[in-house]
Amino acid sequence: MRKYGAEFFGTFWLVLGGCGSAVLAAAFPELGIGLLGVSLAFGLTVLTMAYSIGHISGCHLNPAVSIGLWAGNRFPAQELLPYILAQVAGAVLAGSVLYLIASGKASFDVSAGFASNGYGEHSPGQYSLLAALLCEVVMTMMFLLIIMGATDKRAPQGFAPLAIGLGLTLIHLISIPVTNTSVNPARSTGVALFVGDWAVSQLWLFWLAPIIGAILGALIYRFLGEEEA
């Protein structure tokens, strides 16, 4: 239960910190942090939690990461469902807290997006479904390569959180214009439920594509990084 609790609170922090920066601070008059700030915020949530709870649960904070680590032979199948449930629950609680904070502003309009992920007319840059699918698959694939490589016992010890946090920052710098960056089904779900409508109808992509990408990344790392007998 401690592991599941760690995943719950860790994912809560990821969604509150990352999506909160997008909703509350990205375009704040004259002092907005912009896309660079939002990208850094997502990376910092993972970096801080990796140092805080990595020794408790492994700090997945992401159903796609858990599934990818299972595919990479780093995580037991029997732990998948409880981890995913804890992650989604933490993300939804974070979405609830963020909604309560954001709705304290008179001009708040949840239908404007609430940091949800989307494609087509709901993509920040109006990118197509195919472009969004490819982007999410490739970005999550590279994220798993980074995670598995940085946490390999042969890698320099103690630096994995830095590599993973900065990797997620880079992923956001690349892909926010395409999909608002998911690479994490829990993160997508935690805010989409409050928008409803298009955000929920497009949510399938932000489960499917990250999971496919995570499995691909894990399998590639197993091929590249497997030690010879």
> 85: which residues sit within 8 A by CB, 6+ positions away?
4
The first and second tokens of residue 67, run together, are 């599934």
What does the alpha-carbon distance between residue 164 and residue 189 come to, in Å, rounded to a whole number? 22
215 phi-psi bin (left φ>0, alpha ψ -120 to 50, beta other):
alpha
Phi-psi region of 195 (alpha: psi -120 to 50; beta: other; left: phi over 0): alpha
CB atoms within 10 A of CB 82: 14
Residues with Cβ < 8 Å from 105, sequence gap 6 or more?
Answer: none
Q: What are the tens digits of pLDDT across the range 33-53?
A: 888 999 999 999 999 999 999
Residue 226's pLDDT is 72
- Four-CA torsion 208, 213, 216, 222, nearest 10 degrees: -120
Beta carbons of 21 and 41 less than 8 angstroms apart: yes
Q: What is the pLDDT of residue 107?
A: 85
What was the pLDDT predicted at 228?
47
- Would you state the pLDDT for residue 200? 95
CATH classification code of 2-225: 1.20.1080.10
Sign of CA dihedral 215, 219, 141, 121: negative
Q: Report how far residue 35's alpha carbon sits from residue 136's, in angstroms, rounded to the nearest whole number.
A: 18
Low-confidence ranges of the chain (pLDDT < 50): 228-229
Are 90 and 186 within 8 A, CB to CB? yes
What pLDDT, on a 0 to 100 scale, did the predictor assign at position 30? 65
Distance CA 196, CA 188 (A): 12
What pLDDT, on a 0 to 100 scale, did the predictor assign at position 229? 39
pLDDT at res. 33: 84
Alpha-carbon gap, residue 41 to 47, rounded angstroms: 10
Q: Domains of the chain: which residue ranges?
A: 2-225
| Threshold 0.85, pTM exceeds | yes
Kindly report the number of other CB atoms within 10 A of residue 35's CB atom: 16
Alpha helices for 103-184 (secondary structure H): 129-150, 160-179
Q: What whole-number distance in Å separates Cα of residue 210 and Cα of residue 68?
A: 9
Both structure tokens of 197: 């409508």
Identity of the amino acid at 225: G
> What's the pLDDT score for residue 210?
97
